Amino acid sequence: MSNESAPHVKPLYNVKNPFIAKLKHAHDLSAPDAPKHTRHYEIDLAGSGLEYLPGDSLAVLPTNDPALVDATIAALGLTGEETVTHPKTAAQVPLRQALIEGSSLTEIDNKLVKAIVEKTGGESPLAALVAPEQKEELKKYLWGRFVIDLLLENPTAKFEAQEFVSVLKKLNIRLYSISSSLKAHPEEVHLTVATVKYTSFGRERGGVASTFLAERLTAETRIPVFVNLGKGFRLPDAAEETPVIFCGPGTGIAPFRAFLEERKATGAKGKAWLFFGEVSEKSCYFYKDEFEAYLADGTLNKLTLAWSRDQAEKIYVQHRMLENSAEFYAWLEQGAIFYVCGDASRMAHDVDKALHKIIETEGGKTEEEAIAYVAAMKEAKRYRRDVY
């Protein structure tokens, strides 16, 4: 019996009716010299009745950086006081409020591209990229650009306030894997978030939600949230002897911190193995004290770490899997569920290759037999991925 089908009360909250939460506590997980700034957030859910299970995500409705909004309004040649229809609520509000709360300024809608081409009489560099067959070229051109870049690059394209709002995408929710268990932290939800920062076209850029959390939260800031169910990413029932293997490098550790808190709270019987990797042990060993305590009390049976830049040759979690291939395969043969969370483009692909290699090598199987083995794992819900 798995708690995968554990009943959820129908959510009281959703994108149109989020719970307005407040920040309870936040602290840095990474050291100042780490290449990425990663933080731990504890959000107060008191009085909400909100429930979640480890494996669920928290939907956060962020607001845009006011400085970016002001710069965009200046590029438009407007004041920000012009009355427009709010993209989400349909209320009549000042342009500045609509842009802060409801419009995406970091993702460019094709409606904006076409409007600029039209307003510049085809003189814009965008004119050569609007044909359907130029879709990939347009995508490349827009990469790293925000809405403000198109306005500054095409100063003859003039917009009225309402017209401008109508050619923008709506500001979307951001989903973050929950890194806590309600059993360990009643009426709280925790997040593990890397702050997205980069420079492109001479301008400092930031991820909308990650900078909202890292730079603009105070104890009074309204944080609209709701729970997004992760039905396919669940622990086996605590009474089962099923082994579990968690692989979560970087902020992919989030659901596994929640899983471990849940295992401790429920006295889970099956053994557990965690693979965690980051850049450096000194600057990026997130939740070190907690994981070592779980090792000591048996909540966690094995902890395998990969620090990619603490030695001359880069070492990642997939390398540690291969180094432990015999034991890894033995766990699989015992019915272990293998969970992976994190980057889809590289990590998950490399971990999948390592999984197939382990099955081939340790199981004495052909490539085709290993593929079939993994397919059977997926069919039995023993290979679960939460990748993004």
What percentage of the chain's residues is helix, strand, coil (to nearest 5)?
Answer: 35, 25, 40
Q: Write down the pLDDT at residue 122.
A: 87
pLDDT tens readout for residues 262-295: 999 999 999 999 999 999 999 999 999 999 999 9
Residues sharing a CB contact under 8 Å with residue 256, sequence separation 6 or more, in sequence order: 246, 248, 274, 276, 339, 341
pLDDT tens readout for residues 163-188: 999 999 999 999 999 999 999 999 99
Residue ranges, CATH 2.40.30.10, the chain: 3-60+173-228
pLDDT tens readout for residues 318-331: 999 999 999 999 99
pLDDT tens readout for residues 119-141: 999 899 999 999 999 999 999 99
pLDDT tens readout for residues 329-343: 999 999 999 999 999
Q: Write down the pLDDT at residue 10.
A: 55
Residue 43: how many other CB atoms lie within 10 Å: 25
Q: Write down the pLDDT at residue 1.
A: 40
Q: Given 2.40.30.10, 3.40.50.150, 1.20.120.1200, 2.102.10.10, which CATH number is that of 3-60+173-228? A: 2.40.30.10
DSSP label at residue 198: E
Q: Write down the pLDDT at residue 11.
A: 57
Q: Write down the pLDDT at residue 345.
A: 87
Percent of the chain with pLDDT over 70: 97
Q: Provide DSSP, 24-93.
A: EEEEESS-TTSSSEEEEEEEE-TTS-----BTBEEEE-----HHHHHHHHHHHT--S-SEEE-TTT--EE
Average pLDDT of the residues of the chain? 95
pTM for the full model? Answer: 0.93
Q: Write down the pLDDT at residue 5.
A: 47
Strands 337-342 and 244-247, by their bridges, are: parallel
Residue 343: how many other CB atoms lie within 10 Å: 16
Q: Write down the pLDDT at residue 194.
A: 97
Identify the CATH number of the domain defined by range 244-387. 3.40.50.80
Whether 9 has a pLDDT exceeding 60, the answer reads no
Q: Does 66-166 carry CATH code 1.10.10.10? A: no
Whether 231 has a pLDDT exceeding 90, the answer reads no
Best CA proximity match to 76, nearest among 204, 144, 167: 167
Residue 149: how many other CB atoms lie within 10 Å: 17
What's the rounded mean pLDDT across residues 104-114?
A: 96
Residue ranges, CATH 1.20.990.10, the chain: 66-166
- Cα(43)–Cα(25) distance, integer angstroms: 7
